[in-house]
Amino acid sequence: MLPVILIAPHACSAIQDNLKKRYALTDEQIWKCSDPFTDYLSEFTCVNDKHTANVNRLVCDLNRAPNTCDAFREFDFFGSKVFKDDQEFTAKEKENLLTQYWYPFHQAIADSIQTMDNAGAEVILLVDYHNTAGDHALNDNNDYMPSMILSNLGAEDACEDKEGLSIPYDYMFELSDFIEDQLGISADLNRIYKGGYNLYWYTHLRDILGIRAKIYAIQIEYNLDYVFDPATQTFDRGALENLQNCLNQGIEYMYKSILLKEKFDKIKPLC
């Protein structure tokens, strides 16, 4: 295993019964607002630590800023009201949910990083893992989910490196090419999704934690329709295994590429 951390902040697809009675959404609507199957992670054998959400994003979104506005939704992705009338969370309940779910989840990620740094890791790679269904438009431009999106907080299909990126474009291109070679599907860069709150947070963790290791982070978001047929409502476990085996190999290849470049950058020229 490598100093790689896999994070699935929207993996929890259900809502606990004591809260669900307050929701105006059906079980299917709640399920569609999660990232189904992103807690199926057995193929990621190169990854050292895995952190999957234990709360649905409609209860407390672990990929949004930790405040009583951003981390809590009033409407789902399709404009449906999340809660029944007068059943929304109070400000106190929101603070309690952040304390119960948001802060422990992110502290566990920070602890993993600290442990790897203490063990002497030179580079730590964080992978934020998501999916989105391809059966509906995602924005005002009526863009639909492509096969896969790789995000680093940058511009779509940009080529030059810039400040503030979670990982340089060179490594993004390498992983994109690997995925296309192995799966025959394209992996677009920063198209529609440029990265959520977590990706931004990861870029600041080295300074926050005061660690020696460098931190790189990437968001991977694949089209849910690759593994789940919305017409027949069937899940293709074999397709998921194939996808994740490819991503596992690609992540390992990318990490080793990063580490090799870091070592060469340390070599001083002879003249």
Q: What is the pLDDT of residue 267?
A: 58
**Residue 157 backbone class (left: φ over 0; alpha: ψ -120 to 50; beta: rest):** left
> How many Å apart are CA 44 and CA 112, to the nearest integer?
17
> How many Å apart are CA 230 and CA 144, to the nearest integer?
15
Q: What is the pLDDT of residue 159?
A: 65
Q: What is the pLDDT of residue 138?
A: 86
pLDDT < 50 stretches in the chain: none
Q: Could you tell me which residues come within 8 angstroms of residue 232 by beta carbon, excluding any fewer than 6 positions away?
A: none
Domains of the chain by residue range: 2-265
In SS3 terms, the chain reads as CEEEEEEECCCCCCCCHHHHCCECCCHHHHHHCCCCCCCCCCCCCCEEEEEECCCCCCCCCCCCCCCCCCCCCCECCCCCECECCCCCCCHHHHHHHHHHHHHHHHHHHHHHHHHHHHCCCCEEEEEEEEEECCCCCCCCCCCCCCCEEEECCCCCCCCCCCCCCCCCHHHHHHHHHHHHHHHCCCCEECCCCCCCHHHHHHCCHHHHHCCCCEEEEEEEEEEHHHCEECCCCEECHHHHHHHHHHHHHHHHHHHHHHHHHHHHHCCCCCC
Q: What is the pLDDT of residue 97?
A: 97
CB 53 within 8 A of CB 8: yes
The CATH code that applies to domain 2-265 is 3.40.630.40
> How many Å apart are CA 164 and CA 217, to the nearest integer?
11
Residues 137-166 have pLDDT tens digits of 888 888 899 999 999 999 886 766 677 899
> How many Å apart are CA 52 and CA 5, to the nearest integer?
11
Q: What is the pLDDT of residue 223?
A: 97
Q: What is the pLDDT of residue 99?
A: 98
Per the listing, tokens 């926050």 go with 208
Q: What is the pLDDT of residue 263?
A: 74
> How many Å apart are CA 169 and CA 162, to the nearest integer?
9
Residues 184-217 have pLDDT tens digits of 999 999 999 999 999 999 999 999 999 999 999 9
Q: What is the pLDDT of residue 94?
A: 97
